[in-house]
Amino acid sequence: MVISLNYLLKINKKILFVLIIITILLITLTLVSQSILFNISQTENYTYSSNSNYDISKPKFSINNKKNSISITANKGNFINKNEIILEDNVEFTSKNFKISTSNVYFNQKNQTAKSLVNSQFESNKTLIKSEGFDITENGNIIKFNGKTKLIILE
């Protein structure tokens, strides 16, 4: 017992202090990096564009409800404010039941709503809808096709 205590007393106090500090730093760094990575996986649906014409390229979002999920993709996106984004160029809403294609959509991330004021095409099994725009509300449960609308059903 006396021998082991003596052994401890032989260790340089400065080295011990440095070792403790390094250990604390390593633990802190690990925790912080894990937290950052977690946050990135929650929000990184797009990459910020280096092009000055638009904010984000190839944005990807989703509207979720109890039954299914609608995936939203586009070539370009521009932030109007924190929650609202204009999606442009080859905008597509895809779920397991349907696909909507258009060129311009206002998407609200917070409310999970989408609105288009330009010609849009809805395709589903044996069903085709062409309209002058659309609104998606109630987490995708209600889709309203606006303006002069044509619906074709294959019997």
Partner 1 sequence: MIKLIKILILVNLVNFSSIAREKGQIEITANQGVEVFQVEKYYYLKEKVNILSDNFELNADEVKAFFDKDLYDIYEIQASGNSTLYSQEGIYAFGEKIFFNLKNETIIVNGKNSKLQFNDLNMFSNNLIDVDNLQQTFNLQGELSILQNNEIKIIASSIKGKFINNNKINEIEELFIKDQKKLNIITKTSSMFALKANYNKLNNTIELHENVLIIRDQETIEGEYALINIANESYKIKSKENKKVKIILNTSSNE
The reply on whether position 119 binds partner 1 by CB under 8 A is yes
The reply on whether position 128 binds partner 1 by CB under 8 A is yes
Q: Could you tell me the smallest distance in angstroms from the CB atom of residue 77 to partner 1? A: 25
CA 62/CA 72 separation, integer angstroms = 5
| Locus of tokens 């160029």 | 89
Torsion sign across C-alpha atoms 14, 16, 22, 24: negative
Q: What are the backbone angles phi and psi of residue 18, rounded to the nearest 5°?
A: -60, -45
The reply on whether position 131 binds partner 1 by CB under 8 A is yes
Counting residues that bind partner 1 (by CB under 8 A) gives 28
Which of 47, 67, 69, 111 is in the footprint of partner 1 by CB under 8 A? 67
CA 57/CA 39 separation, integer angstroms = 20
**Which residues would be at the binding site for partner 1 (CB under 8 A)?**
67, 97-98, 119, 124-131, 140-155
